[in-house]
Amino acid sequence: MFKKTLSLALGLALSVGMLIPAMAAEPDTVVPQELQISKLYMVLPDWISTPDGMTIDKAGNLILACPNFGDQTQPGCIARITPSGKISKWFDVPVNANSGVARPMGVEFGPDGSLFIVDNQGWTGNPESVNQGRILKVSFDASGNIASTTEVAVGMEHPNGIKIKGSYAYVTQSSMTPVKDPSGKLVSAVYRFPLDAKNIQVTNTLEDLNILATFVTQNPACQYGLDGLVFDKAGNLYVGNFGDGAISKITFNADGSIASNKIWAQDSDNLATTDGMCIDSAGNIFVADFNRNAIAKVTPDGKISRIAQSPDSTGAKGELDQPGEPIVWNNMLLVSCFDMVTDDGKINSAHDAPQTLAWLPLNTEAPSKNTNTDPVVTPAPAGTYTVKSGDCLWNIAARELGSGKRWSEIYELNKAVVKNPNRIYTGQVLTLPVK
């Protein structure tokens, strides 16, 4: 969070000017005009350096896992965002006794209201965290405080995503280095754990009894395995092989055994990598294309289209700043921006402030080209404010935050769009700090 402030006298002088043309797009990546443009939902508070997995509680609040790989002095935690856009820390995730840390990624509620958390210790690469990944079951009292924590599974190399179906938690394990495929390529797996299990010792080998299915990542340029997963209404499981940009469909027999397991959707032109995934009520699957700063949509017939993409950026304008996971929530498609990995093949070039959530409208069809209609003004989501005639940063802060003295916080969060705090413009969408 920025600390710099301006003088109070300047704040009193801030006024609204006339609307000026938008700035040109950043030159690093050319985004086709027919794609949707993501928008800023929220600049996250400074206790979140890396947002990742998301789920929704019974009250309709968004639950956000924050492994905080970007600043490992910060504890891994779970945040709660209300439908009105108020964010707060719910709790710090109980740490692993061996490593002294917790790094939550995938999260999902069980049928009894317990929160299942994938603690991906191995992602850090720290020696003390090797094979210390866990699946946690956190139960709560009537006030929402932690009542108990159960280690469902321990010893995992690289657990990542989680979905719950029936009496089981389905978890992707993105790498299993002890398993040597004849091709020499990476092996990963889907594990299936009973929801009432305790202290299952995972060996990260084919001897693990809870393995549902294993996969080999074929792309030699991106040896990273399974990541996102979703179930459809019929109970079929879809799982993404990150490095191959492929989604496999697993169907089941009545006894829970696998009936079929085949690649269902793959199109490298529209989907390079498969990170987090979600599914809407019509059966469309939305996929975070991590490497390409993009979101893809897969229709129920397996057709892939890219619906949004962003250039390399800080994410301050709502760009897809290395999208980690999408979720359908509050009448929008919300996206966590991981903004962390900068190796070859990634559009993202730096881990830089601010840390953000972006959003897209749920009507994700590409707009028609050469249309003559007036632009549609989409209402700003919670956590932002659309500038009106007569506004200045002082009165916006007074009305929205309870004190005009907080105008400088709004300015600091919006320097990407507010170049001169003396001049803001009708129609600009400003990010608001946490109340």
Contact status, residue 241 vs residue 225, Cβ threshold 8 Å: yes
Q: What pLDDT is recorded for position 69?
A: 96
Burial class (CB in 10 A: 0-12, 13-18, 19+), 163: buried
Contact status, residue 264 vs residue 229, Cβ threshold 8 Å: no
Which part of the chain is CATH 2.120.10.30?
41-360
CA distance 364 to 360: 8
Write out pLDDT tens, residues 388-433: 888 899 889 888 888 888 888 888 888 867 878 888 887 778 888 8
* Sign of the CA dihedral running 35, 40, 46, 48: negative
CA distance 343 to 350: 10
Give the pTM.
0.80
Q: Region 322-338: what's the mean pLDDT? A: 96
Fold of 41-360: Neuraminidase (2.120.10)
Write out pLDDT tens, residues 62-77: 999 999 999 999 999 9
Q: Beta strand pairing status for 146-156 and 200-201?
A: parallel
Question: Residues, the chain, total?
Answer: 435
| % residues pLDDT > 70 (the chain) | 88
Q: What is the CATH number of domain 8-22+381-431?
A: 3.10.350.10
Range 195-229 burial, b when 16+ CB lie within 10 A, else e: bebeebebebeeebebbbbbbbbebeebebbbbbb
Reply yes or no on whether the pLDDT at 147 is more than 50. yes
Q: What pLDDT is recorded for position 2?
A: 31
Q: What pLDDT is recorded for position 381?
A: 52
Q: Region 243-256: what's the mean pLDDT? A: 98
* Unique residue bearing structure tokens 């991590």: 290
Which part of the chain is CATH 3.10.350.10?
8-22+381-431
Q: Which residues contact 28 (CB under 8 A, 6 or more apart)?
A: 311, 312, 313, 347, 349
